[in-house]
Chains A and B, each alone.
Chain A
Amino acid sequence: MSAFASGAPVLELHHLSKTYRSKTGATGDTALSDVSFRVPRGEVVGLIGPSGAGKSTLIRCINRLVEPTQGEIRLGDTNLVGLGTGELRRQRRRIGMIFQEYALVERLTVMENVLSGRLGYVPFWRSFTRRFPGQDIERAYRLLDRVGLLDQADKRADALSGGQRQRVGIARALAQEPELLLVDEPTASLDPKTSRQIMRLITEICAEHLLPAIVNIHDVPLAQQFTSRIIGLRSGKVVFDGSPASLSDAALTEIYGAEDWTAMQQEHEQDEAADADARLRLAGVVK
Chain B
Amino acid sequence: MTTAYPRRWRRPPQIVPDRRWRIGLQLLILAYLVLAVGSVEVDWTRVAEGLVRGQRFAMGFLQPDFTSRWTDIRQGLIESLTMTLTATVVGVLISVPIGIGAARNLAPPPVYLVCRSIVAVSRSLQEIIIAIFLVAMFGFGPFAGFLTLSFASIGFIAKLLADDIEEIDASQAEAIRATGASWWQLVHYAIQPQVMPRLIGLSLYRLDINFRESSVIGIVGAGGIGATLNTAIDRYEYDSAGAILLIIIAIVMVVEYSSSYLRKFLQ
In the complex they form, do A and B come into direct contact, defined as C-beta atoms under 8 angstroms apart?
Answer: yes
Contact B3 A130 (CB under 8 A): no
Q: Answer whether residue B19 sits at the interface, using C-beta atoms and an 8 A cutoff.
A: no
Of B8-16, B43-51, B107-115, B215-223, the one with at least 4 CB within 8 A of chain A: B8-16
Of A20-28, A83-91, A135-143, the one with at least 4 CB within 8 A of chain B: A135-143
A residues within 8 A CB of B38?
none
Query: How far does the alpha carbon of A36 sit from the alpha carbon of B5 in the complex, in Å?
Result: 42
Q: Answer whether residue A19 sits at the interface, using C-beta atoms and an 8 A cutoff.
A: no
Shortest beta-carbon distance from A133 to chain B in Å:
9
Contact B11 A134 (CB under 8 A): no
Query: How far does the alpha carbon of A135 sit from the alpha carbon of B11 in the complex, in Å?
Result: 17
Residue of B nearest to A153 (CB): B9
Shortest beta-carbon distance from A110 to chain B in Å:
11
B residues within 8 A CB of A135?
7
Query: How far does the alpha carbon of A112 sit from the alpha carbon of B7 in the complex, in Å?
Result: 14
Contact B11 A112 (CB under 8 A): yes
Query: How far does the alpha carbon of A132 sit from the alpha carbon of B9 in the complex, in Å?
Result: 8
Shortest beta-carbon distance from A18 to chain B in Å:
35
Contact B7 A134 (CB under 8 A): yes
Contact A137 B11 (CB under 8 A): no
Query: How far does the alpha carbon of A66 sit from the alpha carbon of B2 in the complex, in Å?
Result: 41
Q: Answer whether residue A267 sits at the interface, using C-beta atoms and an 8 A cutoff.
A: no
Beta-carbon contacts of A76-94 to B below 8 Å, as 1s and 0s?
0000000000000000000
Residue of A nearest to B9 (CB): A137
Q: Answer whether residue A204 sits at the interface, using C-beta atoms and an 8 A cutoff.
A: no
Contact A140 B7 (CB under 8 A): no
Query: How far does the alpha carbon of A140 sit from the alpha carbon of B12 in the complex, in Å?
Result: 16
Q: Answer whether residue A109 sits at the interface, using C-beta atoms and an 8 A cutoff.
A: yes
Contact A140 B9 (CB under 8 A): yes
Q: Answer whether residue B6 sits at the interface, using C-beta atoms and an 8 A cutoff.
A: yes
Contact B12 A134 (CB under 8 A): no
Q: Answer whether residue A145 sits at the interface, using C-beta atoms and an 8 A cutoff.
A: yes
A residues within 8 A CB of B8?
134, 137
Residue of A nearest to B6 (CB): A141
Contact B7 A145 (CB under 8 A): no
Contact A154 B7 (CB under 8 A): no
Beta-carbon contacts of B3-31 to A below 8 Å, as 1s and 0s?
10111111110000000000000000000
A residues within 8 A CB of B11?
109, 111-112, 130
Query: How far does the alpha carbon of A132 sit from the alpha carbon of B11 in the complex, in Å?
Result: 11
Query: How far does the alpha carbon of A140 sit from the alpha carbon of B9 in the complex, in Å?
Result: 10
Give which listed residue, B5, B10, B12, contacts A141 with CB less than 8 A. B5
Contact A138 B3 (CB under 8 A): no
Give which listed residue, A109, A115, A130, A138, contacts B5 with CB less than 8 A. A138
The majority secondary structure among interface residues of chain B is loop
Residue of B5, B6, B7, B9 ringed by the most chain A CB atoms within 10 A: B9
Shortest beta-carbon distance from B219 to chain A in Å:
44
Query: How far does the alpha carbon of A193 sit from the alpha carbon of B32 in the complex, in Å?
Result: 56
Shortest beta-carbon distance from B160 to chain A in Å:
30
Query: How far does the alpha carbon of A130 sit from the alpha carbon of B12 in the complex, in Å?
Result: 11
Query: How far does the alpha carbon of A90 sit from the alpha carbon of B190 in the complex, in Å?
Result: 60
Residue of B nearest to A155 (CB): B12
Contact B12 A137 (CB under 8 A): no
Query: How far does the alpha carbon of A227 sit from the alpha carbon of B212 in the complex, in Å?
Result: 65
Residue of A112, A132, A135, A141 ringed by the most chain B CB atoms within 10 A: A141
Query: How far does the alpha carbon of A135 sit from the alpha carbon of B4 in the complex, in Å?
Result: 11
B residues within 8 A CB of A154?
12
Query: How far does the alpha carbon of A125 sit from the alpha carbon of B214 in the complex, in Å?
Result: 49
Residue of B nearest to A154 (CB): B12
Query: How far does the alpha carbon of A135 sit from the alpha carbon of B7 in the complex, in Å?
Result: 6
A residues within 8 A CB of B3?
142, 145
Beta-carbon contacts of A105-147 to B below 8 Å, as 1s and 0s?
0000101100100000000000000101011011011100100
A residues within 8 A CB of B6?
137-138, 141
Residue of B nearest to A156 (CB): B14
Query: How far does the alpha carbon of A115 sit from the alpha carbon of B6 in the complex, in Å?
Result: 14
Residue of B nearest to A130 (CB): B11
Contact A145 B5 (CB under 8 A): yes
B residues within 8 A CB of A134?
7-8
Residue of A nearest to B7 (CB): A134
Query: How far does the alpha carbon of A273 sit from the alpha carbon of B232 in the complex, in Å?
Result: 83
A residues within 8 A CB of B7?
134-135, 137-138
A-B interface, 3 closest residue pairs, ranked by CB to CB distance from nearest: A134-B7, A141-B5, A137-B9
27 examples of A-B residue contacts, CB within 8 angstroms: A109-B12, A111-B9, A111-B11, A112-B11, A115-B9, A130-B10, A130-B11, A132-B9, A134-B7, A134-B8, A135-B7, A137-B5, A137-B7, A137-B8, A137-B9, A138-B5, A138-B6, A138-B7, A140-B9, A141-B6, A141-B9, A142-B3, A142-B5, A145-B3, A145-B5, A153-B9, A154-B12
